[in-house]
Amino acid sequence: MEVIIRPTTKEAVNLTARLIAAAIRRKPFFKLGLATGATMEAVYADLAAMNRAKEVDFSRVVTFNLDEYIGLPPEDPNSYRYYMNRNLFSKINIDLGNTNLPDGMAKDEIAEGQRYEKAIRDAGGIDLQLLGIGNDGHIGFNEPISSLGSRTRSKALTPATYAQNSVYFNPPDSMPKRAFTMGVGTILEAARVVMLITGKKKAGIAAKAIEGPITAMVTGSALQLHPSTVVVLDEAAASELKQTEYYNWVFANEPEWKPYR
């Protein structure tokens, strides 16, 4: 795991977008795993700006989103399909037929999880998976005590996740209590993972995920097992890390990070 700390949220977001754009430029037929949430909106705005400036081409990119609420159709403003269309897909030169999310309206939940896993396999696997992290350390909707070997499936949300996300629903109690999510095992099969964590309120859980024990209680900690993970944080989110001097030394001195300094 590599940990990169930038002074501001804007710089952390921009570095994340630049990492994604650089990876796509190296391999145009790219399979990109995507996340949702407020943290990612700024990343997608930066990627859209890069696309307009012809710095990155999405025409041959295939995407797979982490999750989708069960019971929400694609046209529902709170669905993640709607979120992705609004925040990214409508603003870049991507073929919508190459964009994939779990089907929140699927009648057979087990079959839908299996279908999504097969779609990822048939595409050749995910080249880069973008992640955020929940307040309790979950990635995707892999809530605490999720198996670290889990696959795409339906999952009951915790009260904490419900409280965190229901503010986006009107009324709040209209939020679904279940969702489809890639499993932790699915996420770990991506060739590379980039996780973005910003804000003081995420400092405690960032420290647990990055420097704490690997545990199903903090599913983000499973990324310590991944051979090619980069975690990008702003200084606020990094404020409880213990090895910041080393992380900053690596960023300042390792050749791979020179283009981003």
The domain tally of the chain equals: 1
Q: What is the pLDDT of residues 69-119, one digit of tens each?
A: 999 999 999 999 999 999 999 999 999 999 999 999 999 999 999 999 999
Average pLDDT, integer, range 236-254: 98
Q: What is the CATH number of the domain that holds 140?
A: 3.40.50.1360
The vertex-24 CA angle with 18 and 30, nearest 5°, equals 140
For residue 174, what are the domain limits? 2-260
* End-to-end Cα separation, the chain, in angstroms: 19
State pTM to two decimals.
Answer: 0.96
3 state DSSP class of 132? coil
Q: Render pLDDT for 41-50 as a digit per residue (tens, 0 to 9).
A: 999 999 999 9
* Candidate list 109, 136, 189, 211, residue with the active-site label: 136
Please, which pLDDT band fits residue 175 given cuts at 50, 70 and 90? very high
228 token code pair? 């090619």
| Cα(62)–Cα(256) distance, integer angstroms | 26
pLDDT score at 55: 98
- The reported pLDDT for the residue numbered 102 is 98
> Whats the size of the chain, residue-wise?
261
Q: What phi and psi values does residue 196 have, to the nearest 5 degrees? A: -110, 125
pLDDT in tens, 116-149: 999 999 999 999 999 999 999 999 999 999 999 9
Q: What is the predicted pLDDT for the residue at 195? A: 98
**The pLDDT of residue 182:** 98
d(CA 90, CA 192): 25
Catalytic residue among 112, 127, 138, 226: 138
Would the CA dihedral through 149, 154, 157, 161 be positive or negative?
A: positive
67 is known as an active-site residue: yes
Torsion sign across C-alpha atoms 140, 145, 147, 152: negative
**pLDDT computed for residue 59 by the predictor:** 97
| Average pLDDT of the segment spanning 19-29 | 96
pLDDT, tens only, 194-244: 999 999 999 999 999 999 999 999 999 999 999 999 999 999 999 999 999
Strand (E) or helix (H) holding 63? strand 62-65
Q: How many CA atoms lie within 13 A of 105 on its CB side?
A: 7
Task: Give CA–CA dist 36/84, Å, rounded.
Answer: 8
Torsion sign (Cα): 39, 240, 230, 180: negative
Clarify whether 138 is annotated catalytic: yes
Q: Which of 46, 112, 143, 234 is catalytic?
A: 143
Determine whether 226 is an active site residue: no
Per-residue pLDDT, 108: 98
